[in-house]
A and B are shown apart, each in its own frame.
Chain A
Amino acid sequence: MLTGLALGFVAALLALAPAALAILRTPNANGLIYGASGVLSLALLVLSLFALLAGTSADDAVTLPLGLPWIGSHFRIDPLAAAFLVILNLGGATASLYAVGHGRHEHDRGRVLPFFPAFLAAMNLVVLAGDAFTFLLSWESMSLASWALVMAHHRDPENRRAGLVYLVMASFGTLALVLAFGLLGGADGHYAFAAMRAAPLTPLFAALVVVLAILGAGSKAGLVPLHVWLPLAHPAAPSHVSALMSGVMTKVAIYTFVRIVFDLVPAPPGWASAVVVTLGGITAVVGILYAILATDTKKMLAYSTVENVGVIFVGLGLALAFRANAMPGAAALAMTAALLHAFNHSLFKSALFYAAGAVLSATGLRDMEKLGGLIHRMPQTAFVFLVAAAAISALPPLNGFASEWLTFQAILLSPALPEWSLKLLVPAAGGLLALAAALAAAAFVRAFGVAFLGRARSPAAADAVETDRWSLAAMFVAVALCVVVGLFPGFAVDALAPAVGTVIGAHVPAQSSTPWLSLVPVAEGHSSYNGFLVFLFVALSGSLSAFGIHRLASRGVRRAPAWDGGFPDPSPLTQYSAGSFAEPIRRVFAPLSGAVESVEIPPPGSTAPARFRLTLNDPAWDWIYTPIVTAVGAIADWLNPFQFLTIRRYLSLVFAALVLLLLVVAVWT
């Protein structure tokens, strides 16, 4: 019943794409299409929330006579899918609301409007899919629709490069997933997930599937070193699409990983958890380190997405380890932490991208070094960015802290794991997570401090005006949810319990019955956290002190020029810049950061100025991608003569290939 209804809404979203083409020239096209996609996302959100809270019956599945004729297309909503549908459609609804206002700034509507609802529909279908064929078809549609949106501003050569890199990486990811499902399906071609679950899998194949899932889902989510496309492609798209790609599409990738590794593979190999935890820890630190170095606001946000994906993967890896060692309570805690962080990240990252988009449309600038002082010109956008930045920096009492705290609690349970590799790895991963959290605070102090505080560094920033009401409404919905989830994380944890139960078989104790709605993941004496009380204490003591001081001591204020050690300089260029702010951290982490500094001193007698140059380069390019590109180029050169053969040669080549394949089959069996 629910599945059928959901499919109906998704079909309506799909139908919006041609409708957008039809009404593209009318003046209201923007509001109509985004309004309709917002309403449909909202309907899907309500439906999936209902499915998550009220539960779904196992036979609530739909099989449509589409796709491959002998299997059809299977769809179903189980609690895990419902949880991710909530994340997805919440992001979709706020993005649509934001785009009603923000979309008006779009020059070339035809390149955005039709693809936006198609992108939303494809993501929904990925999560709804119940068989491998439908899943892969939806996955590829999602990649292509988002690629089209990345290429919306195709006149910028950087965007074209981003599009190319994205296309290549997306194809690579899909290839990995095709192979993974091929192995899961086995020789008999079990395409439906239910049949895959029941089919036996040899340990070798299980290991291969896990590796392919890490490659396929990990490349879409942005695991280091498969992340290189993400900071190129996410910022290149229009801002509401950037928010969807960073906040939501990475979560679809995480859903895929959880679905394959936790659900479809019957017994993942023991080392899988160690690999996932290690990759997650490295991803978290490397992602946030580049976020601190990036001076482009949207690129910085994209790198911070990489960090958060790392945090989520650490939680998933721990859950995998606990589950393999029959510690269901701990596994449920780690899984809850991962899912809650996925939800939280979709909230604050959307809000941050919306705010960055508002700044972009108000000033035309993405470069922090040219912004500044926006808190005076765009106070509401600045407030949203500030709250979301505090949330993503894991400051209590906001939601980012709640999920990070749960992850730390899961780490504290892991000394009981018997594997030596994990005993050595998990503390290190904990250290990496703590480092990433502290660096995230630094990155967002820098982003907010340089872009919104201080004095304007360019005329465009000095003349910025506050963004429209639709965009503001979307931003405020997102940050209000950040605050609510931060104050009462127990409700979110309880809501996620069925989803955790599906993959782990257990869930953390119900939180809504704890006294004062505290978060008590293990036991009362072990650890507890109450975001609401912490907020109440801070708010009370803050306002009490403000009231007391104003009543009893002084309330006088005199405006004067800045003191600045006695020599204030009127030029805004004397402010600390984003580059200089990052300099100490860049030096501390010099080996990792891939930054190259060079100072050019002119020869004696020359009047040319001395120059300082800083080039930022993601080392992943140098270490991994450049060798691959070179190798592919060399192979292509070597294969080039095969283009110009006679028909006889081609026929003999085909015959040789056939003989070779038959030989392989003969030897294999």
Chain B
Amino acid sequence: MLRDLLIQAVQMALTLAVAPLLTGVVRKAKARLTRRRGASVFQPYRDLLRLLRKEVVLADTASWLFRAAPYLIFAATWVAAALVPTFATGLVFSWSADLITIIALLGSARFFLALAGMDVGTAFGGIGSSREVMIASLAEPAMLMIVFTLALVAGSTQLSTIAEIFSAGVGLRVSLGLALVALVMVAIAENGRIPVDNPATHLELTMVHEAMVLEYSGRHLALIELSAFLQLLLYVSLIGCVFLPWTLADASGSLGVMALGVVAWLAKLALAGVLLAAFETSIAKMRVFRVPVFLGASLMLGLLGVLLLFVTRSSV
């Protein structure tokens, strides 16, 4: 029991510690791909520390919700990220929230982020919130369809169980292929990456996430940035644990097996970071009103995957 708790605690700490590094790797790789030197991969840590030490400049019209939201968003995202198996399966608290709950926790974080964007009462915040909920209203159903596909193949919505069953081998399935493509598309949209949103922009016509958090400063901004890092980590870990589950250590494995699991996870993160950077540099950002087409495609792929499973399942 104590050992299980320890693994869970290590997992929570690791996700928090590694999340800025992943974003640093993506930024570095993007810089190298555009023939710039780029900042060190540890720059996100320095940014966070700098923001944490600064005082908060709070708009006159901000309410308590604006001040509470960063903590809520951070807590919900962190808990969600900690429930995704990263290096070992069978986390002690994995039964308290299944994959649907993890998605809904991220939904809660977004709910409060969108509200915080509207709290100060500026046009920028509103435009960001409005676009964010539009994107979410298509990305969330697509994500649930993917969850349905995985759950139907594995016979469970528990992420640990899904990973265990998938690592035992479920064969090559068309539905899973569709789900993988759809999941990557949703991950790109949910994390505000190019071509849906540009995390580096400050041009009003293209902003979504940045417009919502425009009024944030100091420690509040640090928490929101860290939540965004965590969310990227969560999606990469999720794709890794579902589609490359063989490196996950068993909860009862020895220390060496665990360490191997951690190394494999870090390798997966690095690979995903470089791939994401390559993808982002090779594609242009799309107009906001093209995003529904992009996400609609992912929703349809997810639905098609579920439909295939429904149709091919022999009747009992």
Contacts and interface: CB of A to CB of B under 8 A. Distances in A.
Interface of A: 372-373, 375-376, 379, 386, 390, 393-396, 401, 405, 408-409, 411-412, 414-418, 423-424, 426-428, 430-431, 434-435, 437-439, 441-442, 445-446, 448-450, 453-455, 516, 518, 524-530, 533-534, 537-543, 545-546, 549, 553-554, 556-565, 568-569, 572, 574-577, 580-585, 587-588
Contact of A408 (B52, B122, B144, B299): B144
A633 B82 CA distance: 64
A36 B64 CA distance: 38
A415 B124 CA distance: 45
Nearest to B110: A441
Nearest to A584: B134
B111 A445 contact: yes
B276 interface: no
Given A395-B107, A561-B60, A584-B288, A556 B55 contact: yes
B56 interface: yes
B83 to A, nearest CB: 9
Contact of B137 (A414, A438, A559): A438
B98 interface: yes
Contacts of B107: 393-395, 438, 441
20 contacts: A423-B311, A427-B303, A427-B306, A428-B307, A438-B107, A445-B129, A525-B161, A530-B95, A534-B101, A538-B72, A554-B218, A557-B56, A561-B60, A562-B60, A565-B214, A568-B122, A575-B121, A575-B122, A576-B118, A583-B130
Contact of B65 (A375, A426, A442, A568): A375
A356 to B, nearest CB: 17
Given A527-B156, A528-B98, A560-B59, A396 B311 contact: no
Contacts of A518: 95-96
Given A448-B115, A524-B95, A560-B58, A541 B75 contact: yes
Given A408-B144, A534-B105, A453 B115 contact: yes
A574 B126 CA distance: 10
Contacts of B38: none
Contacts of B100: 405, 408, 529
A533 to B, nearest CB: 4
B122 A449 contact: no
B248 interface: no
Interface in B185-228: 204, 214-215, 218-219, 223
B45 interface: no
B137 A576 contact: no
Interface in B88-146: 93, 95-98, 100-101, 104-105, 107-108, 110-111, 114-115, 117-127, 129-131, 133-134, 136-141, 144-145
Interface stretch (B147-155, B232-240, B251-259, B277-285): B147-155
B114 A534 contact: no
A532 to B, nearest CB: 9
B210 to A, nearest CB: 11
A585 B58 contact: no
Nearest to A587: B289
Interface in B56-76: 56-65, 71-72, 74-76
B86 interface: no
A588 B59 contact: no
A450 B157 contact: no
Interface of B: 52-65, 71-72, 74-76, 78-79, 82, 93, 95-98, 100-101, 104-105, 107-108, 110-111, 114-115, 117-127, 129-131, 133-134, 136-141, 144-145, 148, 151-152, 155-158, 161, 204, 214-215, 218-219, 223, 288-289, 292, 299, 302-303, 306-307, 309-311, 313, 315-316
Contacts of B307: 424, 427-428
A457 B121 CA distance: 10
A412 B155 CA distance: 9
Contact of B55 (A393, A554, A585): A554
Contacts of A540: 75
A518 B121 CA distance: 40
A529 B101 contact: yes
Given A427-B303, A562-B60, A584-B288, A412 B152 contact: yes
Contact of B98 (A411, A426, A527, A574): A527
Among B101, B299, B307, residue most surrounded by chain A Cβ atoms (within 10 Å): B101
A418 B118 contact: no
B115 to A, nearest CB: 6
Contacts of B58: 557-560
A525 B156 contact: yes
B96 A529 contact: yes
A542 B100 CA distance: 21
By Cβ-Cβ distance, the 7 closest A-B pairs, closest first, are: A576-B126, A556-B55, A454-B121, A542-B75, A449-B118, A434-B141, A442-B133
B214 A564 contact: yes
Among B125, B130, B307, residue most surrounded by chain A Cβ atoms (within 10 Å): B130
Dominant secondary structure at the A interface = helix
A332 B61 CA distance: 50
Contact of A430 (B57, B97, B156, B306): B306
A440 B219 CA distance: 31
Contact of B63 (A453, A546, A564): A453
Contact of A390 (B74, B96, B108, B289): B108
A379 B63 CA distance: 10
A102 to B, nearest CB: 25
Contacts of B311: 423-424
Given A441-B136, A453-B115, A530-B95, A581 B55 contact: no
A438 B61 contact: no
Contacts of A449: 114-115, 117-119, 126, 129
A427 B126 contact: no
A581 B61 contact: no
A527 B157 contact: yes
Nearest to A457: B121
A528 B310 contact: no
A416 B98 contact: no
B140 A434 contact: yes
Contact of B310 (A426, A549, A558, A584): A426
B311 to A, nearest CB: 6
Contact of B52 (A450, A455, A554): A554
Contacts of A559: 58-60
A423 to B, nearest CB: 5
A455 B141 CA distance: 33
A405 B214 CA distance: 34
Contact of A542 (B53, B71, B114): B71
A584 B288 CA distance: 9
Contacts of A527: 98, 151, 156-158
A488 to B, nearest CB: 13
Contacts of A580: 126, 130
Contacts of A561: 59-60
Nearest to B149: A427
A534 B140 contact: no
Nearest to B119: A453
Among B60, B126, B129, B313, residue most surrounded by chain A Cβ atoms (within 10 Å): B126
Given A396-B101, A445-B133, 4 more contacts: A431-B145, A437-B141, A442-B134, A542-B72
Given A449-B114, A554-B55, A442 B137 contact: yes
Contacts of B57: 558, 560, 563
Contacts of A549: 52, 219, 223
A439 to B, nearest CB: 5
A575 B126 contact: yes
Among A534, A561, A563, A581, residue most surrounded by chain B Cβ atoms (within 10 Å): A534
A435 B137 contact: yes
B131 A584 contact: yes
A614 to B, nearest CB: 15
Given A423-B310, A546-B71, A553 B133 contact: no
A438 B138 contact: yes
A526 B140 contact: no
Given A401-B104, A434-B145, A585-B133, A450 B118 contact: yes
